[in-house]
Structure 1
């Protein structure tokens, strides 16, 4: 029988984890072999070499030092791959001649909980989807916080509702069974999740349910009321089983929320992006809503704030409770300061609890847990001082683990080493045997020093040294010039260039005693630490619960700080369909100099506000302000308004901006129409819809017709609160003709011939788009501006009949696209220019501008280009 080799071990582990990159521990290195080595060379920049180079089939090989593991994991996971880590056992198994390697963990994008792999602000989301008959189940689990949600979807639109929910969560990893992965509907679903890693996992519903019961630490699942939610239960069980398999340890869930679809406001990915809730359109944190209201003092609080902004509440009592808590805190600067001091600098108790629960916490993690627990009584006192029901409830029991914190503080030193097997973990006085052995090591070290002094004197060798290294232990070092003075009982140990190293029987005995004591004390310290870590792990569920409470307290504290800093006021939230804002400001832009607050009113008679006025007038800001104020109010925050009355919104839709989807062959106009179709299908009377220009990506008449029809459909069929900013002034005739449509406009004033944008929004239409005037402000040549004015006047005269309202219904149109030239043909001629349109020089300048790639110019190149155009125009004017 052939001897089992290390490469046999590798082959066995790789066969058991075929969809992973295998990091295989060999001494102080992790090695990658075969295809994994080539992947590592490309993704990690490792040097690709070969094992058994002399053979006919050399094995590709690459590796890195053990201490680079976290960094290399982070890079590899960023490529969307999974990584299996095989560790080397410390001792030979009985009868074995080869150290065994075992996979201790499979790292996947959705199963991470380490701060070093995630960062302090990020959370990893693992989603699982199952299908039970005609019902879809979804579970969303966070391995770092040991929490999750599950829900299910019925009815003919179940796939589209599941699609919306997945887009909202944007999971790092999506786990399904093989049968689901092969379903055509699932293929269409994941097409909009390009950054999500799709994984398959096999787990029966029965096994998943049993694992879920273990994870929750309960006897049964009766408290979750899952009798009517089998698909949701199955999805949660699949997720827990997958995590257990990847982590190679049991998973503990602190909380599993069986969510109703209606329990939270729905914000899809398009809305979150357009409103810049989590990041700006450029992908930056600064300038987002999250940054504007981010006053949390802890990492777990910042993650909880993000979760609250992503899922604003639809529960009136829960919203009111949050507002009560913010009010109680904001009334007293003393309470806020006490809470700020207690929370500031607190380590991430949520992540620490997870590390402890998985048995992976090091000594510094355990000490950090103790330090965090020591802060909790102060948090509890500050919350109880408010007498607010929600804060008092959240603070209840925060001191429950004081004894554990005391035990940790009495056992471990304040700044223990990162490694666990090198000693230095325990305080003096914790363990008598450890103290005795430490005394031996201290005495032993002192003996070697005195032995050195003794030998220098007796042998008359002042340069003699007694030293120690890992290879040969303690030794006596003598230079070449003094070798003749060395006694015969000195045993040669190692020759050097300039001398010799020796040992003596006495030295060896002392070395052995010291080594034995050092080894024993390190082993005892490790054992005592593991015992302490096990005690912390037994409280992991409680620790996670405390961390969750502190996270919510931190968010409410942050809301109160923002309210005081920026004079935000408590909104009134109701179940009605009103939305009344007075002195409303955009939460991000309000601090800009000269910002102008505005009012907004939706009621039974005002359902669709048609906003007209020039670009740069503030229409887009007005739309976003209404949505962000609503979102903040339902998230539990005060709002940047003098007064706000918010009828609860079930969903916010946005159709703003323009972008192509080139990968799918979708034009800007097609993308716009897809978004509008989505709104018309999914909006309800309780939704808030923002439309910022629709119909601009096609011909004038086509665009106007679409905008007209969409406005009518929303107002007549849906009746939801809608803000529609448009340049189609023909639509202002809908007011009075379609119930609920009201014209509003942004204010513009002309001061001494100069156009001034007032940024105010008032009832009534804008009777001038000011487009030509804005073009003049932008610097278009005067002849072009004058020609545009003539054409505008002509077109307005020709288009008098194309206005909405008044019962007007268009007849059958001619085939083909409408064009400006058909206007001219109908009038027999286009308006004659009052002067030559532009000179040859001006035409050349316009051509130069049209053909220039301005996006690729540096600021310096742009300035030089502008100077050259100016010079050409000046020379042309001078003949």
Structure 2
């Protein structure tokens, strides 16, 4: 969000004027820092607070709902000011970041005053500067992040129809790069942005305003940051990338074209800017190829409700049901599995081998889950340590992680299995870091503060020098207590208090009416340092000297604590790659453990893969619907499917609400779950690995683009027809229902024909056009399927089973009845339907029979109800009851 800084800019331009020269050293320092960071809200550290001034203060106060006050004057104008406590700053940062603001954090850089800007007449001024800039894509603070989600900073570079997209999660070190499909740049870019779900996008102004991409950028506008074109300069970025990855040539990183160099180099430049060159350790660049992952596009993902339901809620989505991970890093990895299912059969089977082995070791699975519960997020803690954020609690996270990793190693080290051997070896190295856990334990307090400002990070008796400084401070603080008692006796005033502030240090404070006691005291030389509205503040030489001793001891203790902590950080960073690799292994164990736990609990099976075109699912189930039914005490009805090169298409007809859409979705979901390396809800699954999954299930409008249901349907269908290959899975449900019957039928016919003859991929095509089944007379590789129903007592019962055949009816009137439509309306609809079925072409209104207004039928219906209500079964004989039944039947017959 762009900030208006006119008033501040005017002040800074006139810093040479006489009035401006009257500003305090602190404000002069502030203006210098702010002048270099005009576009950011500047949080300026002042003791226990972060303070904001000028327009920054106005913006922050308004958006945070905090008081706007003032601090001094500048050019005879009050300086607006607001502030937030440093210990709760993250809450305020979170709110501002969510609103789109970017924030510069200025910290005190030294523990001793800056001699260049201090004088005897001014308070202590410490050197301050911006240590980092927080933007939506560069957040490191744990409390500002979703622990189960990556926070990607994304860079987009496009030039002459070519382009690349790079994305990095600074908190975990994940850095990816992908070249955009030159034939479908727009589509590819849109799909990747949806999949990445970035926190922030950087690009150039000319790319942002390119008419070809403007439509997409408008959707992501609140996430876009425009940066100078120089960020994407290929020549400069070539050197930047090599330096960043400590590589002598780019070829060692993989095949990167010019657009990839521009995109990835821009990310590095932006990180250098925001992190002031303190970038977390990132050692690998992952170059994503087109044939590496199964493509599940945005529409299909939303239709299948993989990450959220249609209404946006996560509860009831696929990931909500299958995620049994117990660590934040494991949850993030599982989500990436679902975003990027594999196409490499060897890699898929390797994951399935792990799952199968863990199922065989259920006792270990349970113990691993118990051990992993509460495991801290070391992946992000390591990033913060390498970025020099100096939160001592991150070091405790590292210590706990080492301990837990060794525990997990102990659980699996004796499993005699080649499959787990690589994991066992990767964890065994943690025994060598036991010394680091012990070092952290001996050095740090078990629950250290989050910053060094008040000390208390390092344990007592760890350093003699540190203990000495602490003793000096404690002795002199005791002396302050003694002085308060002495001064109270000397002036005979019990409510005398010795207080402290950054300006004066320690001072005596009394109310104004007792000030004379100190000024007239002969035994102690009290001198006035400040008057306030209600009190007077005094110092003595002894108090001042004691204050200096305490301040110096505190400052030197804090500096020494930082030195000790930094030494500890150096040891951690020397072992960064080991800790990072083991963290990835632990996350992988968590995910595989999750799959195993899920499979055992819900009776899932291992899928197998075929070299030939094939999709065979025996007793397949929808994991989400099944979970919902189990909770309500019902049972899911499983279904089979078998498609291959001979019969590659299923044309499905069937009544509404009979389970057709659920069957279609479960088929796609089972295929996706198979390719992430998870066991699946079925009795048997065998398939050829798909390259793309396209589903078009359910009608929707795209009002934001002004598209109707039918237009949206055609756009999505065109996307499928253009993108599908022979190795894709295509699922289309009720194509053509947004237009007239004749148009819809002709389109559905020609589209199905094109898929079968040109695309030749495995296809499920559900339709309400019964006439479409005649296509089988021309094309033999189609199976006709429907949903089984049965009639009982005049009622239709849905059996939710897929069977051979063609549906004779959609049972729309029955569904309307189930939905609660009035019986009189249902009866009327039956009459209209009967007449329509007899007519050739479009019948006239008078042919339908009767008045459209059915008030008379409603009246007759109500009369019958009243007559039945008057019957008292206990007061009549069997013979009378039989006669009444005949009478009722005759009355009904007369009205039909």
In which range does the TM-score fall when normalised by the shorter chain?
Answer: 0.7 to 0.9
Provide the rounded CA distance (Å) in 2 between the counterparts of 1:181 and 1:767. 53
**Paired position in structure 2 for 1:411:** 443
CA contact (8 A) 1:342 1:376 kept: no
Q: Alignment partner for residue 129 of structure 1, among 132, 151, 156? A: 156
- CA distances 1:662-713 after superposition (whole Å, capped 9, x unpaired): 2321112211111111111111111112222221222222222222222111
Match of 1:96 in 2: 117
Q: C-alpha separation between the residues in 2 aligned to 1:18 and 1:516?
A: 35
Q: 1:290 aligns with which of 314, 319, 330?
A: 319
Deviates more, 1:738-747 or 1:441-450: 441-450
Q: TM-score, normalised by structure 1?
A: 0.84
Q: What is the match of residue 70 of structure 1?
A: 90
Q: Is the 8 A contact 1:464 1:476 kept in 2?
A: no
Question: 2:203 touches 2:224 (CA, 8 Å); kept in 1?
Answer: no
Matched, 1:823 2:842: yes
Supply the distance in 2 between the matched residues of 1:412 and 1:28 (Cα, whole angstroms): 23
Q: Residues 367-446 of structure 1: matches in 2 within 5 Å?
A: 367-387=396-416, 391-398=420-427, 399=430, 400-441=432-473
Aligned counterpart in structure 2 of residue 730 of structure 1, from 771, 776, 801:
771
1:175 equivalent in structure 2: 202
Asked if the contact 2:164–2:263 (Cα under 8 Å) also holds between the matched residues in 1, the reply is yes
1:657 alignment partner in structure 2: 698
Displacement of 1:836 in angstroms is: 7.3
Aligned equivalent of 2:371, options 342, 350, 366: 342
Tell me by how many angstroms 1:735 deviates. Answer: 2.8
- Counterpart in 2 of 1:211? 240
Q: Could you tell me how far 1:375 is from its partner in structure 2?
A: 1.2
Partner SS state of residue 255, structure 1: coil
Task: Describe the shift of the 1:194–1:683 C-alpha distance in structure 2 as closer, same or farther (beyond 3 A).
Answer: farther
- 5+ residue gaps, structure 1, are 800-821, 846-879
> Residues of 2 paired with 1:576 and 1:244: CA distance?
50
Q: Name 1:875's counterpart in structure 2.
A: none
State whether structure 2 residue 269 is matched by structure 1 residue 241: yes
Q: 1:437 touches 1:521 (CA, 8 Å); kept in 2?
A: yes
Contact 1:324 1:388 in 2 (8 A): no
Partner of 2:894: none
Spell out the pairing of 1:226-625 with structure 2 (5 A cutoff).
Answer: 226=255, 229-251=257-279, 252-387=281-416, 391-398=420-427, 399=430, 400-441=432-473, 469-470=500-501, 473=506, 489-492=523-526, 516-591=552-627, 592=629, 593-625=634-666
Q: CA deviation at 1:611?
A: 2.0
How far apart in 2 are the matches of 1:403 and 1:23?
39
Distance 1:716 1:386, change over 3 A: farther
Give the whole-Å Cα distance in 1 for the aligned partners of 2:307 and 2:283. 26
Distance in 2 between residues matched to 1:455 and 1:49, nearest whole Å: 36
Structure 2 gap segments, 5+ residues each: 1-15, 119-124, 862-896
Comparing 508-517 and 75-84, the one that deviates more: 508-517
Equivalence for 1:684:
725
Kindly report the root-mean-square deviation, in angstroms, between the aligned alpha carbons of the 2 structures.
Answer: 3.8
In 2 relative to 1, CA 165–185 (structure 1 residues): closer, same or farther, beyond 3 Å? same
1:390 Cα deviation from its structure 2 partner: 5.7
Deviations along 1:707-758, one digit per CA (max 9) or x if unpaired, are 2222111122112122222222222222343233211111212222222211
Tell me how far 1:84 sits from its aligned partner. Answer: 2.8
Distance change in 2, residues 1:675/1:725 (3 Å): same
> Which of 631, 635, 638 lines up with 2:672 in the alignment?
631
TM-score (norm 2): 0.82
Partner of 1:749: 790
Q: Write the distance in 1 (CA, Å) between the matches of 2:42 and 2:206.
A: 27
CA contact (8 A) 1:695 1:707 kept: yes
Whether the 8 Å contact between 2:824 and 2:858 is mirrored in structure 1 is no
Partner of 2:828: 787
How big is the shift at 1:13?
A: 5.0
- Tell me the secondary structure at the aligned position of residue 590 of structure 1: helix
Question: Does residue 1:112 correspond to 2:148, yes or no?
Answer: no
**Contact between 1:316 and 1:575, CA under 8 Å: does it hold in 2?**
no
SS of 1:185's equivalent in the other structure is coil
Distance 1:199 1:346 in 2: 38
Q: For residues 62 and 449 of structure 1, what CA distance do their matches in structure 2 show?
A: 34
Task: Go from structure 1 to structure 2 and tell me whether the alpha carbon gap of 1:133 and 1:453 turns closer, same or farther (over 3 Å shift).
Answer: closer
Question: Are the structure 2 counterparts of residues 159 and 660 from structure 1 closer, same or farther at C-alpha, using a change threshold of 3 Å?
Answer: closer
Retained in 2: the 8 A contact 1:584–1:641?
A: yes
Cα displacement string for residues 353-412 of structure 1 (whole angstroms, at most 9, x for unaligned residues): 110110003111111111112211222333444455564334534315333222212211
Whole-angstrom distance in 2 between the partners of 1:713 and 1:175: 41
Q: Return 269-278 or 545-554, whichever deviates more.
A: 545-554
- Structure 1 residue 413 displacement after superposition: 1.3
What corresponds to 2:99 in structure 1? 79
Deviations 1:781-812 (A, max 9, x none): 3443233223334444557xxxxxxxxxxxxx
The whole-number CA distance in structure 1 between the counterparts of 2:314 and 2:374 is: 22
Tell me how far apart the structure 1 counterparts of residues 487 and 116 of structure 2 sit (CA, whole Å): 46
* Distance across 2 between alignment mates of 1:769 and 1:588: 26
Change beyond 3 A, Cα 1:651–1:18: farther
Structure 1 residue 328 displacement after superposition: 0.6
Alignment partners' CA distance in 1, 2:247 and 2:46: 41
Aligned residue for 1:570, secondary structure, equals coil
Write the distance in 1 (CA, Å) between the matches of 2:547 and 2:63.
Answer: 47
Is the 8 Å Cα contact of residues 395 and 549 (structure 1) preserved in structure 2?
no
Q: Out of 151-160 and 649-658, give the one that drifted further.
A: 151-160
* Contact kept? 1:22, 1:36, Cα under 8 Å: yes
Q: Distance in 2 between matches of 1:54 and 1:214?
A: 45
Does the 8 A contact of 1:493 with 1:503 survive in 2? yes
Shift in Å at residue 490 of structure 1? 3.8
Any conservation in 1 of the 2:491–2:521 contact (CA below 8 Å)? no
Q: Cα gap change, 1:10/1:672 in structure 2, threshold over 3 Å: closer, same or farther?
A: farther
In terms of mean alpha carbon deviation, does 136-145 or 19-28 score higher?
19-28
Q: Distance in 2 between matches of 1:39 and 1:842?
A: 64
Are 2:735 and 1:706 equivalent residues in the alignment? Answer: no
Post-superposition offset of 1:68: 4.5
Contact 1:783 1:837 in 2 (8 A): no
Are the structure 2 counterparts of residues 583 and 706 from structure 1 closer, same or farther at C-alpha, using a change threshold of 3 Å?
same
SS in 1 for 2:296: coil
C-alpha contact 2:652 2:785 (8 A) present in aligned 1: yes
Q: 1:335, 1:385 within 8 Å by CA — same for their partners in 2?
A: no
Partner Cα distance (2:533, 2:33) in 1: 47
Residues paired across the two proteins, number: 816
Check conservation: 1:30, 1:64, Cα contact below 8 A. Answer: yes
**Residue 117 to residue 278, structure 1, CA distance change in 2 (3 Å):** same
Residue of structure 2 in register with 1:43 after alignment: 63
Aligned equivalent of 1:693, options 724, 729, 734? 734
Structure-2 residue corresponding to 1:839: 855
CA separation in 2, counterparts of 1:620 and 1:88? 61
**Separation in 2, partners of 1:517, 1:604:** 82
Q: 1:760 to 1:412 in 2, by over 3 A?
A: same
Tell me which residue corresponds to 2:682.
641
State the distance in 2 between where 1:429 and 1:49 align. Answer: 45
Instruction: For 2:693 and 2:249, locate their aligned partners in 1 and report how far apart those are by CA, in whole Å.
Output: 38
